[in-house]
Amino acid sequence: MTTNALPASPHPVEVQHHTPWHEYFGFSLDHKVIGIQYLVTGFFFYLVGGALAGMIRVELVTPLSDFMARDTYNQVLTLHGTIMIFLWIVPVVNGAFGNYLVPFYVGARDMAFPRLNAVAFWMLPPAGFLLMSSYFVGGAAQSGWTAYPPLSITTPAVGQVVWIISVLLLGGSSIFGAVNFIATILKLRQPGLDLFQLPMFCWAMLGTSVLVVLATPVLAGALILLSMDIVAGTGFFNPALGGNAVVYQHLFWFYSHPAVYIMVLPAFGLVSEILPIHARKPLFGYRSMIYSILGIVFLGLIVWAHHMFTSGTPPWMRLFFTIATAIIAVPTGIKFFNWLATLWQGKLALNSALLFCCGFIFNFVFGGITGVALAQVPFDVHVHDTYFVVAHFHYIVFGGTVFVIFAAIYHWFPKISGRLLNEHLGRLHCLLSFIGFNVCFFPQHWLGLNGMPRRVAEYDPQFQLINQISSVGALILAISTLPFLVNVFLSMWKGVPAGDNPWRACTAEWLTSSPPPVENWLHEAPLVTEPYDYGSTEDAMSVTTVRGRDLWSAGR
Amino acid sequence: MTTLIQRPTSHRLEQQQEDRQKVPVHSHHPDVRLFGLTVFLVADGMTFAGFFAAYLTYRAVNPLPVNAEYELELLLPAVNTLLLLASSLTFHRGSKVLMAGSMSTCRSWLLLTAALGVAFMAGQMWEYFHLPFGLTDNLFASTFYALTGFHGLHVTLGAMMILIVWWQAGTEGRFTAENHFGFAAAELYWHFVDGVWVVLFALLYLL
């Protein structure tokens, strides 16, 4: 009789730090260094974008634009959106965690194209600083992160062109990254490792990368045409010159709706990695999770025009995109029920990582419900371009993805640094984030339903109280970052040594030292064919904690 | 009670402790660069797809002013299409010859391919200078120049790649029948550029 105890956490040893600090500032080819470069750079831009959000919420404390000029407000909201999406969320969930984890999960020593990987990262800081510098040279772009013409054609040209160049660089970086992920996951798997044995994060990254490869180039094309309209005087999107502004919207949303999935699919994958470990249960419905990802990828490409119900879309188009959008709730719902089933009667360790995941589930489900509501044409026409959309969107990307990013940092920090983060500060961070987030964004639904338009520095005085509540929430959110920063710096310095595998996890990144050596394992790469093999030890054999398969095989 | 699942993971951490002192194992993975290039070309193709979609939408919903209707000359672009298709064939011949191991013949085929590409670009230039409309005249003119210009950029890059490969092939042993990634990459890219042109020609000139 063989027992199959989970890998025991070995006696904690003092952390030996391997990577010299200056390597993080150079052209390193190590996927782990590049992942951390993405993470830290992204977090820097998160702080910048957060400061801009703070300026927005300060401006909206009073109905008049008394904190900054109206065109400054437009620049601030444009920079806030662009930085948060293209320099924080997309690089961190894809670049940071994708680069750090995918080679481990496929049993590889590095990504398929390490040099391309480094190039993709190093496109990011110049693009970010270029974007920010536009504020100081003649003013940043003012047309929002969507850059809809004719607004983007008529606002000052310099900022808009800089914005376009910067987004093209970031899109190129994203495409290079996606090429790398697809090649790594499909071609660099260890011999004997089947696609259907991969951890869910690999599938999420595969789906995301397919979306990046298919959708991002279309945005690039649209932005090239837009820059020609601005610089060369063509009229692609300029109705005054015989062009068609709605064509831009189609091309833009053909990328930017999948972009929502580029931002949340990796987060879905990370949650699928974190929940089973801290619930000590196998991931529920492994296959259905994969098919849901594939379904979301396919449907995600054919729902873009639900952003354009007020752009004169013909009825057949409205009907098609409403139905397709409603259907996408099905695979998403499957994933959420699977996570709940994974948690159900598990041996939950209510640590910061799991709590942030639970916050994610709560927030994202709420954002998903308002999303299905927004897909219905009569409702959408009513709340289009109001704060309802702002609230919905932030429930998806902040309440969804950013919560998962923090969960992932609490979960993988011990692997990256060799030390645990402080749990008390972590839970305080989680609590403040959850309260601050919901106080900030929940009232905005009410604002939108009552007709407050988005992207305005001045508003009807009747909305003042609710706006002030929302601003208080933003303040709590800002404060919530402090315990996190203190935690990270203190723990890096004096944290409890974590040992190689503090969570007693089964996946391959934990089966090496913390931090891992340069080529990931000193010995042969481990072949992990059961990444979620928790709760199947003999003493844990009960109907509630074991997969059906184990019960069947044990009963025979 | 029967045996539960065999867990390959259980002994690994102990093994790893032992391995701490060992030198790292280096492993070589298969060459997946052509696969990566293929994925990138899918992305590049989607840029063209976006342009084509915009162009077709314009044709469908944005009628041109009457004085802007213009029938494009077909002879030169048709000859150009043949030149580009022929260049794909010559590149293919070159790779066949490379496989057979005859490097000097291969270089001649490469030079011929590059020459055909340059001839195509010359034809495009001639057409640009003789068209009766400019970039900003109307929506069709703008789309025409954007599409052919973006493709022309690809042809230029491709011709430069071919010349670089031709130059590299001059070094003995740089490309062999088994090991010739740079050559294969340039060939794949060139076929892609040709394929895009066929679609572009059909949409812009024939439709």
Summarize pLDDT for A202-234 with one digit per residue, the tens.
999 999 999 999 999 999 999 999 999 999 999
Q: What is the pTM of this model?
A: 0.91
For residue A48, the domain's CATH number is 1.20.210.10
The Cα B87–Cα B115 span in angstroms is 8
Summarize pLDDT for A471-491 with one digit per residue, the tens.
999 999 999 999 999 999 999
Whether B32 and A187 lie within 8 Å, measured CB to CB: yes
**Which pLDDT score is estimated for A124?**
96
Tell me if A542 is assigned to some domain: no
Tell me if A272 is assigned to some domain: yes
Tell me if A457 is assigned to some domain: yes
Name the CA dihedral angle for A118, A124, A129, A134, rounded to a multiple of 10 degrees: 140
Summarize pLDDT for B177-188 with one digit per residue, the tens.
888 899 999 999
Is some CB atom of chain A closer than 8 A to the CB atom of B167? Answer: no
Judge whether A253 and A307 are in contact, CB under 8 Å: yes
Tell me if A276 is assigned to some domain: yes
Tell me if A13 is assigned to some domain: no
Rg (CA), chain B: 25
Q: How confident is the model at residue A13 (pLDDT cuts 50, 70, 90)?
A: low
* Total structural domains within chain A: 1
Whether B10 and A553 lie within 8 Å, measured CB to CB: no
Tell me if A524 is assigned to some domain: no
Task: Give contacts of A153 with chain B, Cβ < 8 Å.
Answer: none
**Which pLDDT score is estimated for A361?**
97
Residue span of the structural domain in which A140 resides: 28-510
Is B186 strand, coil or helix? helix
Residue B5 has pLDDT above 70, yes or no: no
Summarize pLDDT for A94-120 with one digit per residue, the tens.
999 999 999 999 999 999 999 999 999
Q: How confident is the model at residue A238 (pLDDT cuts 50, 70, 90)?
A: very high
Task: Provide ipTM, 2 decimals.
Answer: 0.90
Task: Give contacts of A179 with chain B, Cβ < 8 Å.
Answer: 36, 39-40, 43
Give residues 87 to 126 of B whose Cβ lies within 8 Å of A.
none
Beta bridge partner(s), residue A419: A497
Q: Distances in Å between the alpha carbon of B23 and those of A13, A511, B19, B26?
A: 20, 17, 8, 9
Residue B20 has pLDDT above 60, yes or no: no
- Domain at B79-206, CATH homologous superfamily: Cytochrome c oxidase, subunit III, four-helix bundle (1.20.120.80)
Residue A541 has pLDDT above 50, yes or no: no
Residue A333 has pLDDT above 70, yes or no: yes
**Which pLDDT score is estimated for A269?**
97
Whether B8 and A526 lie within 8 Å, measured CB to CB: yes
Tell me if A366 is assigned to some domain: yes
Tell me if A541 is assigned to some domain: no
Rg (CA), chain A: 23
The Cα A174–Cα A99 span in angstroms is 12
